[in-house]
Structure 1
């Protein structure tokens, strides 16, 4: 039986909406018969006043143009932290996260990248901050920017780039003070990004403390989901004493930890997890460490990344003419590290193949054991 396909001229429909719809009083609208609304203007000053009146005493309040390395005039409509969030969201550094490893190089369909991880951290952090009446805009800005300092190939890039800088390579301060420095972000945002890792000093705002928790909660849940999807382990392998408490699926796990942070903070007056939830998160992360991050396949992937990135970095240091641009006042080592750290996985691996004739069979490979 021959199929009969209906035909719509999508191009004609698209062209027909080129100029939108014009109301009798000269307003251009997206749709015909737009609804009427009655509202008042929410400019920056009114938003700042509303936040001062409604957020909790510990919340970080937006203030004019913000405390920035280069002073700026305030925006008429947006608070300083809204502007930070928007700058990060529209930056090339943030977009490049779409091409950077979260856990699995060259992720299969639905597996996380650094970009989708950042979005999930922002969701978890905002859910907590909103309930605790803390500054959601600042929380989102820190969460979206927290991993912009990561190099290609995941955490293995930190090991790869470490020897080339006297202070070592840590994605958190690197992202805050190097990668995102051109955005002229507020002190509170930069500090939160620099100190989101648990091994770093305590950040200066409670919103950043939330992001530190949200980061670990988000990746512990979604890295496990991705590993199960890749066939690295079965859901049944998760210890039952853990799943009986937090569940075996990401949505249940996130609900458990988010709720616990909110309720624990309200009671204790300190942003954190209850002892039971804290031990559960540690157990989940430890399980992931053994069954995901340090498996033979993952270790092989990391070794391949380290070998390639170190060779590429050494080559570029020895051949600075290969850099897209040079700055005389900055050491060649630091310029090369900045260049390599900013690369996506695909660009770094392709460049190694082109410049070093890196064998294809030695390129880092993705992990998908589903057959």
Structure 2
């Protein structure tokens, strides 16, 4: 019969309650995962270990952490581990899956803001472990560093600039607007706020590591995506880059990560030796010229700016139409700021479909690469 349950589905259903072994229910019938005697490793135990094992410049977790709203400490997690978990479970973090990294509305294997955040976290925690500093804080900053980005990539910052008196920067916006409801530690927010090199230096070693990891990751990964998309080829990579760090993503990441670790080992501070730093700068310059500012990218950016600004004006005049209506006069500063926060939180797909639906936006005017 067509509606008969398959053997696989039946086997899965039979595990609904796990496997009862008397005093303990196990996930697998054949489980032998014994961890031996001894107490669990609580937050307090890990805090003691951090204090004894991490380098003198590392940021130590203490109790509930330095938060705007005081909380009770968690029993199992340090304050920075708690921050990391809050970011991963946040709506803002999940929405990064639908936001542009390089290609608007990415498809197939092209990177999104979410995969970029995960890759930055991998690079950053690799450096932090080798450096002997706080891995949990590094991970939290890296995972949350781009939560302030709007749809359509960096063009969203250009789009929103005219509406925000202090200017729209994704780092401060992420820390001070998008993630405020999570009540994260001040050190985590500082690293997110100041990860861009044009910002003041973060106040922690871990934040500085994320700043380097972000640039290392996007330079190598944006190049790889551009090669796969046929925008550039391996042969186009400048010799000064290839000679130092190779032409492939794996070699480049290895070279630059080791360079930061070596800089920490040799000098006791976060940085990179001149040769590797010059190669990274040359790679970024190449990406900037051949990927980010090529004519097709600039046209894409203009299309993003136009549609996002139109959406902000639409919702600023209709604050009652926001997903969480704001009691503000239409067109007021409060309504405009609320509209920026709403539109900035949209994914590529949702923003552009909303423009077509609510603004009667001509699909031909949407950024290229959008799946209509």
TM-score in terms of structure 2 length: 0.95
| 1:363 corresponds to | 366
Could you tell me whether the CA contact under 8 Å between 2:105 and 2:152 is conserved in 1?
A: no
Is 1:9–2:12 an aligned residue pair? no
Partner residue, 1:207 = 206
SS in 2 for 1:164: coil
Secondary structure at the residue paired with 1:331?
helix
Q: Deviation digits for residues 121-157 of structure 1, max 9, x if unmatched?
A: 0000000000010000000000000000000000000
State the match for 1:175 in structure 2.
174
Distance in 2, Cα, partners of 1:33 & 1:351: 51
Tell me what 1:348 maps to: 351
Q: Distance in 2 between matches of 1:257 and 1:203?
A: 20
Which aligned runs of 4 or more in structure 1 are off by greater than 4 angstroms? none
Cα distance in 1 for partners of 2:320, 2:178 equals 22
The alpha-carbon deviation at position 56 of structure 1 amounts to: 0.4
**CA distance in 2: counterparts of 1:19 and 1:319, whole angstroms:** 50
Structure 1 residue 8: Cα displacement: 5.6
Unaligned runs of 5+ in 2: none
Aligned to 1:3: none
Whether 1:296 aligns to 2:295 is yes
Q: Does 1:75 find its partner at 2:74?
A: yes
Match of 1:37 in 2: 35
Aligned to 1:4: none
- Matched with 1:132 is 131
- Shift in Å, 1:31: 1.1
Superposed CA deviations along residues 287-322 of structure 1, whole A, max 9, x for unmatched, are 000110011111111111001001111121122232
Q: Aligned partners of 2:326 and 2:120: how far apart in 1?
A: 35
Matched, 1:188 2:191: no
Q: Distance in 2 between matches of 1:316 and 1:33?
A: 57
Match of 2:47 in 1: 48
- Per the TM alignment, residue 363 of structure 1 is displaced from its structure 2 partner at its CA by 1.1
Measured on the aligned residues, the alpha-carbon RMSD in Å equals 1.5
Give runs of aligned pairs for residues 235-250 of structure 1, distance below 5 A.
Answer: 235-250=234-249
Q: Is the 8 A contact 1:104 1:367 kept in 2?
A: no
The answer to whether the 8 Å contact 1:297/1:367 transfers is no
- The within-5 A match list for 1:105-144 is 105-144=104-143
The aligned counterpart of 1:89 is 88
Contact 1:317 1:333 in 2 (8 A): yes
Corresponding residue number in structure 2 for 1:21: 19
The count of residues paired between Structure 1 and Structure 2 equals: 361
What is the deviation of 1:10?
A: 2.0
5+ long unaligned stretches in structure 1: 1-6
Change (3 A) 1:178 1:39: farther
Contact map agreement 1:59 1:134 (CA 8 A) in 2: yes
* Structure 2 CA distance for partners of 1:252 and 1:166, relative to 1, 3 Å: same
Choose 298-307 or 312-321, whichever is displaced more: 312-321
- Equivalence for 1:151: 150
The whole-number CA distance in structure 1 between the counterparts of 2:240 and 2:29 is 57
d(CA) in 1 for partners of 2:148, 2:323: 19
Deviation, structure 1 residue 30: 1.2
Conserved in 1, the CA contact under 8 Å of 2:240 and 2:279?
no
1:68 and 1:241 map into 2 onto residues whose CA distance is 46
